[in-house]
Amino acid sequence: MNIIVIIQARMGSTRLPGKVLMPLGDSCVLDYVVERCKLIQPVAQVIVATSTRLEDDPIASWCSSHDINCFRGEEDNVLSRYYDCAKVYQPEYIIRVTADCPFVDYHFANLTVEAMRNHPSDIVINRQQSELTRGLSVELISFLALERIYQASTEERHREHVTYYAYEYPDQFEQTVINVPDSILYPDLRMTIDTEEDYRLCSLLAERWKGCKDMRSDELIAYLLDHPEIAQINAHIMQKPVM
């Protein structure tokens, strides 16, 4: 299986501008995402896909200085950016990750790859997505399915959320269903970065494991469960709805 990871990243954010390059631990948010994605097996390339806007130049510069592949495309049409990026590398499958999730779960990603290897299809579906701890998710989709989504999508929500079309029209895609380990099913916990409160929590986790980027996600969850005063920092934050 020829698999690549495409990490969507941009400096613009309505709630926390510049978050992907904010300091975290001994590096920055994007570095955590990239390094954890490199642990997904087998992955041929990890690519950061950002926009061509001047404000996203720092992302491209960071990638260049850290020898990370970077693709630049449309800002608002993330689906187009994703598809155009994938075309350059011509993979069989793409793992989609967002750059505001510094603790993306590479163990869960490996389970997702294994599920696709055992039951090849268009897309891996996690039916427990609503129960998953926020910030650990990955998506695995075939290049051919992504191409079909790109050709069929017309609504803004499809262009912004890349794979959303496949969830709205599941009958058009062959699915592989995966079961999520109970150890990461804590929907009240947030380990993503969308607000200052999220950043504070993730910074405390990164400081607790400073110098280490490969800690298991279930270890992080266990720590938050043992320290509810930390988990409460962003417990009130509501995820923005898909429009």
Q: What is the pLDDT of residues 172-201, one digit of tens each?
A: 999 999 999 999 999 999 999 999 999 999
Give the span between the Cα atoms of 130 and 31, in whole angstroms: 27
Q: What is the pLDDT of residues 87-107, one digit of tens each?
A: 999 999 999 999 999 999 999
Res 124 pLDDT > 60: yes
Alpha helices, DSSP H, located in the chain: 29-37, 57-65, 78-89, 106-118, 143-152, 156-161, 164-168, 196-208, 217-226, 228-231
Sign of CA pseudo-dihedral 129, 157, 194, 52: positive
| CA–centroid distance for 79 within its chain | 14
Region 7-15: what's the mean pLDDT? 91
pLDDT at 242: 53
Give the span between the Cα atoms of 74 and 51, in whole angstroms: 5
Q: How does residue 1 score in pLDDT terms, banded at 50, 70 and 90?
A: confident
Please tell me which residue, 136 or 14, carries the higher pLDDT value.
Answer: 136
- The predicted model scores a pTM of 0.95
pLDDT at 14: 81
**HEC per residue, 181-214:** CHHHCCCCCECCCCCHHHHHHHHHHHHHCCCCCC
Amino acid of residue 54:
L
pLDDT at 241: 60
% of the chain exceeding 90 in pLDDT: 89
Quote the Cα angle for 160-180-138, to 5°: 30
Tokens matching residue 24: 């975290």
Q: What is the pLDDT of residues 52-88, one digit of tens each?
A: 999 999 999 999 999 999 999 998 899 999 999 999 9
Give the span between the Cα atoms of 211 and 188, in whole angstroms: 27
User: Do 149 and 177 touch, CB atoms closer than 8 A?
Assistant: no
Tokens matching residue 190: 């947030």
User: Do 47 and 38 touch, CB atoms closer than 8 A?
Assistant: no
**Count of alpha carbons within 13 angstroms of residue 110, beta-carbon side:** 11
Query: Which 3 state secondary structure label does DSSP give 25?
Result: coil
User: Do 48 and 63 touch, CB atoms closer than 8 A?
Assistant: yes
Most confident option among 85-89, 125-129, 239-243: 85-89
Give the span between the Cα atoms of 225 and 55, in whole angstroms: 38
Res 243 pLDDT > 70: no
Res 202 pLDDT > 90: yes
Give the span between the Cα atoms of 182 and 23, in whole angstroms: 31
Q: What is the pLDDT of residues 130-180, one digit of tens each?
A: 999 999 999 999 999 999 999 999 888 888 889 999 999 999 999 999 999
Which long-range CB contacts under 8 A does 27-32 form with residues at least 24 apart?
A: 27/213, 28/62, 29/99, 29/100, 29/102, 29/193, 29/202, 30/59, 30/62, 30/99, 31/66, 31/213, 32/102, 32/103, 32/206, 32/213
Q: How does residue 15 score in pLDDT terms, banded at 50, 70 and 90?
A: confident
Q: What is the mean pLDDT of the chain?
A: 95
